[in-house]
Structure formats: structure tokens, C-alpha cells
A and B are shown apart, each in its own frame.
Chain A
Amino acid sequence: MAASTRPRTYSQARDTFSTNRELGWWVFMRVSGLFLVFLVGAHVFFNNILVDAGTIDYAYVAERLAKPWVKIFDSFLLGFALLHGVNGLRYSIEDYFRRPSTRFWLKTALFVVAGALFVVGVMTLWAFSFEEMGDAIRNLTPPQ
């Protein structure tokens, strides 16, 4: 889809997209975007404004990931942000690269990298006990 034919209303979008799947992604970008305003806004506020980002270290992240509500919040963040971001990159690839083989390989590489990072992200959030790791780091550096 060229940028010049980008639809501006929901009814235009229904006429523009040849498949329900593309219409679905168009709606998804708006719905997930609305969620991400709050998810990313809170994430940046708590980790970049309330704390000095220059002081963030292993102990800070391990302590955060030991909290169940952080795991749940960050899981929604990971899922929505990755789908929204990767679909946006896909739009960009389709807008700026003409050759079918270039488009295919760029998109394949993007989906492979994004899929791998999704697995890595879910593992980071759910596969480790950061309660124990938080204790381990505290025992390594006892309070002075």
C-alpha cells in the first residue's frame, strides 16, 4: 500500500484494504496504540522520571522483576509494543522497498528477530526467580 492511498477514516479503510487481515491490523494499530499510551507512559515515568536512569543496575531490575504485578504489566507491554512496533516496521518496509525479493528478506529477518526477542522477553519475565536472585545480589554486597 503506497503512502498516498493511506485511509483516513474507518469506512475508507474498509474500502481500501483488500483483505480482512489488513483491516484487522489497521484497527489493531489504533487499539494497541491507545493501550500503549498508558503502558509506555507509566513505564517511562516510573523508570526514567521517578528514578535517575543512570543509576539503574542489576539489583534494580532484579528487584522489579521479583514483583508479580511488574511481570504482568511488563508482559502486556512486551506483547502490545512488539506487535505494534513490528507491524509499523512492516508498513515502513512495504512503503520504502520496491523489489519483491528485498521486501521478502527484510520482512523475514524482521519477523525472525522479533519472534526470537519475544521468546527471550517472556523467558526474562517468567522463567527466573528474581526473589532468589535479589537475595543473592544483596548477600554479595552486604550493607556497609
Chain B
Amino acid sequence: MYRGREGQWAYYLHRVSGVALALYLLLHIFDISLVMFGPDGPFNAFLFFYHQWPFRIGLVLIMAAVVYHALNGLRIILMDFTSWGVRYQRFMWYAVLVLVTAIGIPVLVKVVPEIFGGA
């Protein structure tokens, strides 16, 4: 399939990021739902556990997955519903990678000091 070229990597990354996001979504609905137990419930203890730096780095990876999956998803929509999308799919994949980097760098500049600068 796709003879190991860009399209195969685009598909593979879309699948991996999608599965990661879906599993994170299930966990995220559960942890936010703990607010139902009120201010004295388990919510803060649970969330503060996830404020430790390994999980914060995981959250950065989740954000990267969001940006890639969203932009490559737009590429898929253009491929599926326009007459020219398939012709430019390789160019669009490189555009996706450039945009992920362009969005990712300022996010890293903002978030990394928060992870390692705090208490």
C-alpha cells in the first residue's frame, strides 16, 4: 500500500495519533467528571498527580497529536472532496509538517518553562 512513500507515513501517523487521542479522551472525560464529587472530593488529588512533569510531557505529546491529526485530517478532506486534492497530497503533507513545526515551537517556548520552572 502506498509503496512506503509520504502517503504511508501520513496514514500511519494519523492512525497512531488518532488512537492516542481517543484513549486520552476516555481518560480525560473520567478525570474531569470527578468534579461531581465536589471541592472535597478526589478531583484535586487526581489532577495534581497528573501535574507531575512526566505527565505534563505526555500532555505536550497529546497537543502535538491534536495539531497533526487536525491538519492531516483537513488534508484528507481535501483529498476526498476536491478534484485536485489527490494531485497535491504530497505537497499538502509537507505543508502539514511545516505547520505542525510552526505551531509547535511557540507552544514549546510557552509550555516547557511552565513544566520545569514551577514548584
Contacts and interface: CB of A to CB of B under 8 A. Distances in A.
Contacts of B61: none
B36 A123 contact: yes
Contacts of A56: 47
A48 interface: yes
B15 to A, nearest CB: 7
B79 A53 contact: no
Interface string A102-123: 0000000000011001001101
Interface residues of B, number: 43
Interface residues of A, number: 48
A10 B81 contact: yes
Given A8-B80, A58-B39, A89 B22 contact: yes
Nearest to A60: B47
28 contacts: A4-B1, A9-B79, A10-B81, A30-B80, A40-B66, A49-B111, A53-B51, A53-B111, A54-B56, A54-B118, A58-B35, A65-B35, A81-B25, A82-B25, A85-B21, A85-B22, A88-B18, A89-B19, A89-B22, A92-B18, A92-B19, A113-B26, A117-B30, A121-B33, A124-B32, A124-B35, A133-B35, A140-B39
